[in-house]
Amino acid sequence: MGLMNTAITLVGVLLIMVGLRDMFHQLLHPPSHGSLSRGVFTVVWRMSRVMKHRLGTAVGPGAMVLVIVLWVQPAVAAIALEQLTRDIAQSCIDFNQYGETYYFREQHADLSLARYLPYTLEIRAAPGASTSPDVQLSGERFGFALQKLSEKLSHEFLSGNTPQEVFAAYTADHRAHQR
């Protein structure tokens, strides 16, 4: 598994480097053109010609927005899943170091871990459908953090054999005490 994670990470770094190179050439070195940007503009322009320029002057700005989305999207997706992974890992650390936190109840259900923990299992499955190696790796890390949290909760506080069972028990236990 270590070699696969390394390979996926290297592919992700390569994709980010290609995006950065393209941004540099497009934005900071105007005499040249970013290959990704130029390709997107070419495809959008050709599609516009086929449609007899029905979109008018919106084609250029629309293509630019598409380029920016292509530059930013992989990094944003990876950062969001990574932050969620860190938050789940921090919850596991909190339960390890301060077991009594299990017994604290959030007065506002909208802010409680119990409310959102079952949805994390749905989020865990989503990166598997992505073609982005960065997103897939982030999904694997997220799944690992959820597994560790599930093991901690089932070992110390609850019963259950799967994360689904453990998280459902955690949610039921904490919702019973919320207003």
Summarize pLDDT for 77-103 with one digit per residue, the tens.
Answer: 667 778 889 999 999 999 999 999 899
| pLDDT(11) > 90 | no
pLDDT grade, residue 152 (50/70/90)?
very high
Three-state DSSP at 127 gives helix
Residue 140 or 59, more confident: 140
Would you state the pLDDT for residue 2? 66
Residue 22 or 106, more confident: 106
* Nearest Cα to Cα of residue 92 among 128, 120, 123: 120
C-alpha distance from residue 36 to each of 16, 39, 44, 74, 127 (Å) = 12, 5, 12, 14, 24
13-17, 129-133, 144-148: which has the highest mean pLDDT? Answer: 144-148
Would you state the pLDDT for residue 146? 95
Three-state DSSP at 160 gives coil
Which pair of structure tokens corresponds to residue 167?
């998280």
Note whether 12 and 35 are within 8 A (CB): no
| pLDDT(177) > 80 | no
Note whether 107 and 51 are within 8 A (CB): no
Average pLDDT for residues 132-148, to the nearest whole number? 87
Lowest mean pLDDT among 19-33, 55-69, 162-176: 19-33
